[in-house]
Amino acid sequence: MSGAVDLFQDVWLLRVYWLAGLPVLVLLFLWLRHKRGGLAGWNAVIDTALMPVLTALGHVAYPQSRWGHLAPLSAAALLCLALSGPARQNDDAPSFQNLDGIMLLMDMSPSVAKGGNLDDAQAAAAYLLERVGARPVGLILYTGDPFLVSAMTIDTATLEGPIAVLDVETMPSVGSRPERALGMARGLFKEAGILSGDVVLISDGGGLNTAALQETIDIAKEGGRVSTIFIPPAPEVADANPEMPPPDEQALEQLADAGGGLAIDMKGLPDLSGALRGSRTEHLAKSELAPLLFDDLGRYLVLFAMIPVLFLFRRGR
């Protein structure tokens, strides 16, 4: 059993399941706190007149405080926290490029390229390139067929040029087959040895079908996520071209839901970029390489746990 969660900024729990011991300790504390007389109920079965005699002879020692059991419980709680693996990412750790990656899938079908909002699609891709941190990024353009513009690279600046010059004449084919682009992205993840990747589909939702949904499910099963960015056509262009297929934002939302990602429009770009940065650390924390990439702070909590243990050796406790 394994797990990792974001505790607060820059601090993660590598073995969060150890926190399950804390509720048990709380229940144990409450039970001990309410034991009658602190003598496990012996004062209820020993004659009242006999108890002072046993006490005077030293056979019975009442605790000086009903909180005497707090020391071992505090130590146990600190040990649970230590075992849960609070950790910070090690800045000096080796870089593993193939741990994760991002594939941008840009819909270049006529409904997007000629729909009046290709600029928004380009802006969304450029925005993410500037904010994905150290994650490698690749780019796929698709219409009826997918075309790999760039395999995954950590030099994201090299992708800014191709994205900036996209226009209605860029693609040699028409149509909209996002399932082929999703299948290509999944294949590239396998070839590159990506342990966990993110796919970002930038589209108006055209062409999404059961095949695209199945590809998305397969990506999620293999440890990836699929997010979508909705790019609607400009109203004046859509009105002038009634034969243009309508946008389908709901289909994009269903795809993102199946892929475990976010479904956003242009206003949600900060949320998506934050999720892409955060998912990198999450994937690394859950991987077998976590000991190499994180500084486990739990050993310091073990030292703190020794402080309440010292009180157990105090005479007359």
**CATH no. for residue 138?**
3.40.50.410
Q: Binning pLDDT at 50, 70 and 90, where does residue 49 land?
A: confident
Written as six digits, the tokens of 189 are 């993840």
Tell me which of 162 and 299 has the higher pLDDT. 162
Domain containing residue 168 = 97-288
pLDDT of the residue at 159: 92
Q: Binning pLDDT at 50, 70 and 90, where does residue 229 land?
A: very high
- One domain for residues 256 and 126: yes
Pairing, β 146-153 against β 5-8: unpaired
pLDDT of the residue at 317: 47
pLDDT of the residue at 243: 58
Which strand ranges, in their side-by-side order, compose the sheet holding 225-230? Answer: 146-153, 137-142, 100-107, 196-203, 225-230, 260-264
pLDDT at 188 over 60: yes
pLDDT of the residue at 216: 96
- One domain for residues 179 and 276: yes
Written as six digits, the tokens of 131 are 């904010």
Q: Distance between CA atoms of 176 and 118, rounded to whole angstroms?
A: 15
Q: Binning pLDDT at 50, 70 and 90, where does residue 1 land?
A: very low
Whole-angstrom Cα Rg for the chain: 30
Q: Binning pLDDT at 50, 70 and 90, where does residue 187 land?
A: very high
- One domain for residues 275 and 138: yes
- One domain for residues 151 and 12: no
Which of these, 313, 299, 303, lies nearest to 71 by C-alpha position?
313
How many domains is the chain partitioned into structurally?
2
pLDDT at 58 over 70: no
- One domain for residues 300 and 256: no
In this predicted model, what pLDDT tens digit does every residue of 106-136 receive, in sequence order? Answer: 999 988 888 778 999 999 999 999 888 778 8
In this predicted model, what pLDDT tens digit does every residue of 209-225 receive, in sequence order? Answer: 999 999 999 999 988 89
pLDDT of the residue at 40: 54
- One domain for residues 232 and 139: yes
Written as six digits, the tokens of 54 are 């046993």
Q: Distance between CA atoms of 146 and 88, rounded to whole angstroms?
A: 39
* β-sheet bridge partners, residue 104: 139, 200
pLDDT at 65 over 60: no
pLDDT at 101 over 90: no
- One domain for residues 50 and 197: no
Q: Are 107 and 203 in contact (CB under 8 A)?
A: yes
- One domain for residues 125 and 232: yes
- CA–centroid distance for 258 within its chain: 16
